[in-house]
Amino acid sequence: MSQLAGKLGIVFGVANKRSIAWAIAQAWHKAGAKLAFTYQGERLKENVEELAGTFGADTLLMPCDVTKDEDIARVFTEVGQKFGKLHLMLHSVAFAPKDALEGEFINTSREAFRVAHDVSAYSLIALARGAAPLMTEGGSIIGMTYYGSEKVVPHYNVMGVAKAALESSTRYLAYDLGPKKIRVNCISAGPVNTLAARGIAGFTDMLKHYEAHAPLKRNVLPDELGATGTFLASDGAGAITGQIIYVDCGYQIMGM
Ligand SMILES: NC(=O)c1ccc[n+]([C@@H]2O[C@H](COP(=O)([O-])OP(=O)(O)OC[C@H]3O[C@@H](n4cnc5c(N)ncnc54)[C@H](O)[C@@H]3O)[C@@H](O)[C@H]2O)c1
């Protein structure tokens, strides 16, 4: 399958082999795309270096803390120098302080609210602004979201509010970038056992709840997120923008 042959992409959000970003990156790579990666900081460098290295020793790898404008600027300057242009960008980044994902939502501090929105929602806008000038042949930008943006999922708390901001930003970005043939969409994934997910209190119960209540009676597999990411990145999704695509074994349609 070479659905993405000749496409150049950048992936934000690989922390380890369980990261959703890694599942999508593998699928993009298999479909023929050439990829650059970023990692959050020194702590994760080795992990990401090892994974990205499996795509070739010359794979472009750069540090990027998405809360730092200077990091973002440097990343897109380097990508411009190495690739000359860009077609794909994956935003698979989120964070909220742990205590905000444990107690009651009403106790969310101003600082936890600010951090969650800065890392998990504003960053999509900042990264899209960095990527767009390089997407001279059009492009596909994909963010990762979760159902807690629209319904109350106990403990998801401020992250749900940040995901609502991310989804709304997806629509506004799709409007701004549409004339440049750049599409912006989100994948709303069912629960997947990753580093970020384990920070949510009661996450294991969430997996069990989905298995019991989703129409398909199981949880989503990382490969299935990769396949959807590949579709959204491909020309086959050429008329799809500003959308939230649910890849959750059907859980989102349930009322009870
Ligand atoms: N795991 C799930 O159940 C699930 C479900 C739906 C959506 N999502 C979303 O998928 C995305 C990826 O999460 P994941 O589950 O793969 O977990 P993960 O921990 O593997 O990935 C989260 C990534 O965010 C990065 N990050 C956090 N703060 C950052 C910063 N300041 N600068 C740069 N990078 C930063 C981390 O380094 C990490 O790579 C997130 O947006 C998450 O909300 C996850």
Q: What is the pLDDT of residues 61-116, one digit of tens each?
A: 999 999 999 999 999 999 999 999 999 999 999 999 999 999 999 999 999 999 99
Residue 3 placed within a domain: no
CA distance 66 to 73: 10
Residue 114 placed within a domain: yes
Q: Looking at residue 25, which CATH number applies to its domain?
A: 3.40.50.720
| Single-letter amino acid, residue 89 | M
Residue 61 placed within a domain: yes
CA distance 95 to 72: 17
Determine which residue's CA is closest to atom 12 belonging to ligand 1: 92
Number of domains forming the structure of the chain: 1
Active site residues: 146, 156
**In the chain, which ranges are E strands?**
8-12, 34-39, 61-63, 88-91, 139-145, 182-189, 244-247
Convert the pLDDT of each residue in 104-140 to its tens digit.
999 999 999 999 999 999 999 999 999 999 999 999 9
Give me 27's structure tokens: 């699928």
- At which residue do the structure tokens 């989100």 appear? 186
What band does 198 get if pLDDT is binned at 50, 70 and 90? confident
Tell me, using a 6 A CB cutoff, whether residue 147 lines ligand 1.
Answer: no
Tell me, using a 6 A CB cutoff, whether residue 101 lines ligand 1.
Answer: no
Tell me, using a 6 A CB cutoff, whether residue 189 lines ligand 1.
Answer: yes
Residue 1 clears pLDDT 70, i.e. is over it: no
CA of 196 to the centre of ligand 1 (A): 6
Residue 84 placed within a domain: yes
Convert the pLDDT of each residue in 7-56 to its tens digit.
999 999 999 999 999 999 999 999 999 999 999 999 999 999 999 999 99
3-class SS of residue 43: helix
Q: Is the dihedral of CA 213, 121, 113, 194 positive or negative?
A: positive
In this prediction, residue 100 carries a pLDDT of 95
Determine which residue's CA is closest to atom 17 belonging to ligand 1: 196
Containing domain of residue 232, as a range?
8-246
Q: Once rounded to an integer, what is the mean pLDDT over residues 170-184? A: 98
What percentage of the chain carries pLDDT values higher than 70?
100
